[in-house]
Amino acid sequence: MSLQKRLNLSFMAMIVIPCILFTVALFFLFITFSGTDGVMNSSYQLQNIEKKNTIFSELKLLTTSTPTSFYDENYLSEKARELEELNIALLIRIDDDITFSSNLFSDLPIKNYLTPFGQFVNHVHNSVVIGSQAFKFEQHDFYLPDQREASIFFIKETSPLEQFTAEYLPILLVLLIVIIVLTNGTLSYLVSRSIVKPLKTLQQATENIKSGNLDFKIEEKRKDEIGHLTRDFESMRQKLKHSIEVQQLYEENRKLLISNISHDLKTPITSIKGYVEGLRDGVANTKEKQQKYVSTIYRKANELDALIDELFLFSTLDLNRASFHFEKLNIVHFIQECIDDLSYGLEKSGVQIKFQNPYASSVLVTADPEKLMRVFNNIIQNSIKYIDKDPGQITITLHKAEDLLFVTVEDNGSGIDSDDLPSVFESFYRADKSRNSKTGGTGLGLAISKQIIEAHGGSIWAESTKGMGTAIKFSLKLLETNGDTL
């Protein structure tokens, strides 16, 4: 439920619940104190009031027309009977004596509560409590012909409800206020808790992030705005953590890169320095020795040059600053050309190369031929370097799948250890950690190949079995094909 809906509902509940509670409370009080009769027979009660008023008026009239009637026991008894039916007692007081009294309530000391002559004020809501009962009095004072002071009393037991209302009205009001305060307080607490609690969790999470701690998790299953906010916060934390981890990895790589570059640059420079010192100090004292020193210096300088070239290419690719010249390329001709270019080196190493093309003479891809040549060169040079069997064998195969062309270069060389396999495409990674074996290499070749293939929209990976051989596979986007045989 949305927060807005929840607030609206709680606002409505704050009004409705006290009303319902108060009405229910009143209803039960009414039932308890009045009984069902009180509820049902209100029209009957009205008739009784009318009857009583008629008798009262009749008696009042008598006070002027025939006041002697107030000495007439029979007449008064009759009226008293009529009134008793209405549950009203009749009392006549002349001077201070009660000259007539109904049987009703005769056991109660009502006399003591009668208002003296001339002092009665008709307070409708005032009732007199005698023992456990409450009574309402009506009084009419008049003078008899002999100037004696006389009073007529109608005494009626008030209904428990009336009595209750009169007595407990302030309590009822307090009860109403208490119900309102409790309901509103509880609802406000519940609603605010459902908002404040997750906000506190978020605040704690923010503090954690501020102090650099990202190793925590906040879970929230709610579907409202706060739930969304918490989930967004959690995904932000995960992304932040991931980006910091990536940054740390980059930092590590950068340090490693600098250390590897320094090492690989230092090695040829140290040997160039050694040979130059040898020439300067006259260690190369014969013509042949001097010739040998100079040609070694030249070879080392060339290595340095090639290394700097590779480094430069790698960094431009890494920074996405290398320019690619994509064109429509027939990969079948292209591979054939690569093989021809490498044939001298292949022959020299005694390695046979096979190109298995199940397709027709033309398979078109989009590629930068110069950059792709580097990839082929590096992969085949690697195979030549690591072939340890006689005869050495390299097989190039093509395979199409949907809009991709997969190229596999497989050799029967030493293979790559499964621990090294995931890392061979990292810059400066060499399975041979000594970095100075006769196989040479900087460990940039496959890293550069990966950058180039990815820039072509493809992917590159290695499969290898130690001691059996290695297969380097990469994909290129197919442009169109002619005369497929498969």
Query: Contact with Mg ion (CB under 5 A): which of 268, 413, 445, 469?
Result: 445
Residue 198, interface with ligand ATP (CB under 6 A)?
Answer: no
Task: Determine the residue type at 182.
Answer: L
Query: Contact with ligand ATP (CB under 6 A): which of 205, 317, 363, 431?
Result: 431
- Cα(416)–Cα(78) distance, integer angstroms: 129
Residue 416, interface with ligand ATP (CB under 6 A)?
Answer: yes
Query: Contact with ligand ATP (CB under 6 A): which of 101, 163, 378, 475?
Result: 378
Query: Contact with ligand ATP (CB under 6 A): which of 382, 412, 451, 475?
Result: 382
Task: Determine the residue type at 64.
Answer: T
Residue 412, interface with ligand ATP (CB under 6 A)?
Answer: no
Written as one string, the DSSP assignment of 150-203 is EEEEEEEEPPHHHHHHHHHHHHHHHHHHHHHHHHHHHHHHHHHHHHHHHHHHHH
In the complex, what is the shortest distance from the CB of residue 308 to ligand ATP, in angstroms, rounded to a whole number? Answer: 12
- Cα(377)–Cα(381) distance, integer angstroms: 6
| Residue span 285-324 as binding mask against ligand ATP, x where in contact by CB under 6 A, dash where not | -------------------------x--------------
In the complex, what is the shortest distance from the CB of residue 443 to ligand ATP, in angstroms, rounded to a whole number? Answer: 4
93 versus 385: smaller Cβ distance to ligand ATP: 385
Q: What is the DSSP letter of 320?
A: T
In the complex, what is the shortest distance from the CB of residue 419 to ligand ATP, in angstroms, rounded to a whole number? Answer: 12
State the binding partner of 431 from ligand ATP, Mg ion, none, CB within 5 to 8 A by kind. ligand ATP
Residue 157, interface with ligand ATP (CB under 6 A)?
Answer: no
Establish how many alpha carbons lie within 13 A of residue 243's alpha carbon, considering only the half-sphere containing its beta carbon. Answer: 6
230 versus 378: smaller Cβ distance to ligand ATP: 378
In contact, 67 and 94? CB cutoff 8 Å: no
Give all strands of the β-sheet with 88-94 in edge-to-edge order. Answer: 97-101, 88-94, 149-157, 133-143, 128-130
- Cα(283)–Cα(277) distance, integer angstroms: 8
Residue 442, interface with ligand ATP (CB under 6 A)?
Answer: yes
Task: Determine the residue type at 144.
Answer: L
Residue 378, interface with Mg ion (CB under 5 A)?
Answer: yes
Please give the structure tokens belonging to residue 215. 């190793």
In the complex, what is the shortest distance from the CB of residue 294 to ligand ATP, in angstroms, rounded to a whole number? Answer: 25
By CB under 6 A, which span of 92-100, 264-272, 280-288, 442-450 interacts with ligand ATP? 442-450
Residue 386, interface with ligand ATP (CB under 6 A)?
Answer: yes
In the complex, what is the shortest distance from the CB of residue 435 to ligand ATP, in angstroms, rounded to a whole number? Answer: 9
By CB under 6 A, which span of 177-185, 230-238, 344-352, 435-443 interacts with ligand ATP? 435-443
State the binding partner of 136 from ligand ATP, Mg ion, none, CB within 5 to 8 A by kind. none
One-letter-per-residue 3-state SS of 342-355: HHHHHHHHCEEEEE
SS3 content of the chain, % helix, strand, coil (to 5): 55, 20, 25
How would you classify the pairing of strands 149-157 and 133-143?
A: antiparallel
Written as one string, the DSSP assignment of 418-483 is TTTGGGTTSTT--SSTTS-STT---S-HHHHHHHHHHHTT--EEEEEETTTEEEEEEEEEEEEESS
Residue 163, interface with ligand ATP (CB under 6 A)?
Answer: no
Nearest by Cα to 49 from 3, 80, 88, 95 = 88
130 versus 339: smaller Cβ distance to ligand ATP: 339
What does the binding site for ligand ATP look like in residue numbers (CB under 6 A)?
A: 310, 378, 382-383, 386, 411, 413-414, 416, 424, 429-432, 441-447, 470
What does the binding site for Mg ion look like in residue numbers (CB under 5 A)?
A: 378, 382, 445
